[in-house]
């Protein structure tokens, strides 16, 4: 039974997701001691990557949209966003049991190792925690105001099985018919999002009820917005500047120790990666 981690990385002309993936892979090996494979597009130069990644797998991303990328409150750019290949991970992964992470999910503990002790074939986060402690998190609790629970495609684990294969086939179907499903589930965002597609697929495979197909990943899902900054990193200690409550320009320091965190500000994460 083979086990490993898969990262996706598709550069968009300004944000170097490959650099983020390299940085993430080093931390995965440090804290989880697992092989890491990279899924990327055919334009990626592989020079130097084979020393870091167990395997490099090439695929075409079939959905490319545009969205705002923030670097704190005052700076933002509209850039391309390539996020369509996530549903192909069942076929693309070289492992029987796979942990899938976004390149900006910063591993600082061995918490996710206990995935391999679970009996479920699919694990994902539903509940999540903003390190600011005060911002409205309703967009991360349900897909829309009167709709189904929100699940994070940022990190998930699966074991290959017939039912899990069906689940990923459902995601492909949702992706191919996105205009229909976003209306059906009252999703106002114009862009396809893996979080929404995974949430709808879980609702579907559970028979449109609160079923038990997916188990909960170990630990908790912590995140900071792209309005916040990762300021310093020292092994498993992370120091953030997080938006202050009721302020559009002030920040407070938040320090974590031994917590895995989804760092949405790619720019600040790249600056840290450059200096580590």
pLDDT of 66 reads 86
More reliable by pLDDT, 76 or 262:
262
pLDDT digits over 150-186, tens only?
A: 999 999 999 999 999 999 999 999 999 999 999 999 9
pLDDT of 12 reads 86
pLDDT digits over 8-49, tens only?
A: 999 887 899 999 999 999 999 999 999 999 999 887 887 889
Q: What residue ranges define each of the domains in the chain, with the CATH number in brackets?
A: 3-63+80-224 (3.90.550.10)
The token pair at 98 is: 């796979």
pLDDT of 62 reads 63
pLDDT of 43 reads 79
pLDDT digits over 232-255, tens only?
A: 999 999 999 999 998 878 999 999
C-alpha of 243 from chain center: 22
What's the pTM value of the predicted model, to 2 decimals? 0.95
Spell out the residues 6+ positions from residue 129 whose beta carbon is closer than 8 angstroms to its own.
220, 221, 222, 223
pLDDT of 24 reads 98
pLDDT of 74 reads 87
Measuring CA to CA, how many Å separate 39 from each of 106, 120, 155, 208?
18, 25, 15, 31
β-partners of residue 215 are: 123
Radius of gyration of the chain (CA): 18
Q: Residue 217: name the closest of 262, 266, 182 by CA.
A: 262
For the chain, percent of residues with pLDDT exceeding 70: 99
């Amino acid at each position: 039974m083979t086990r490993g981690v898969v990262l996706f990385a598709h550069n968009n002309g300004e944000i170097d997701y490959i650099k983020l993936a390299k940085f993430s892979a080093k931390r995965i090996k440090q804290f989880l001691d697992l092989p890491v494979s990279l899924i990327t597009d055919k334009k990626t130069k592989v020079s130097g990557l084979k020393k870091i990644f167990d395997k490099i797998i090439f695929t075409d991303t079939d959905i490319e949209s545009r969205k705002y990328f923030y670097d704190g409150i005052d700076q933002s750019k509209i850039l391309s966003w390539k996020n369509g290949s996530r549903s192909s991970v069942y076929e693309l992964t070289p492992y029987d049991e796979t942990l899938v992470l976004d390149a900006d999910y910063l591993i600082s503990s061995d918490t996710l190792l206990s995935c391999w002790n679970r009996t479920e074939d699919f694990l994902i986060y539903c509940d999540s925690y903003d390190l600011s402690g005060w911002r409205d998190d309703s967009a991360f609790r349900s897909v829309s105001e009167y709709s189904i629970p929100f699940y994070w495609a940022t990190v998930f684990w699966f074991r290959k099985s017939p039912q899990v294969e069906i689940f990923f086939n459902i995601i492909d179907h949702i992706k191919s018919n996105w205009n229909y499903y976003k209306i059906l589930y009252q999703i106002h965002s114009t862009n396809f999002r893996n979080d929404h597609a995974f949430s709808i697929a879980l609702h579907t495979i559970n028979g449109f009820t609160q079923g038990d197909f997916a188990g909960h990943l170990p630990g908790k899902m912590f995140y900071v917005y792209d309005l916040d900054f990762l300021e310093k990193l020292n092994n498993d200690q992370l120091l953030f500047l997080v938006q202050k409550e009721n302020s559009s320009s002030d920040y407070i320091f938040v320090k974590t120790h031994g917590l895995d965190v989804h760092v949405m500000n790619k720019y600040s994460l790249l600056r840290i990666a450059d200096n580590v």
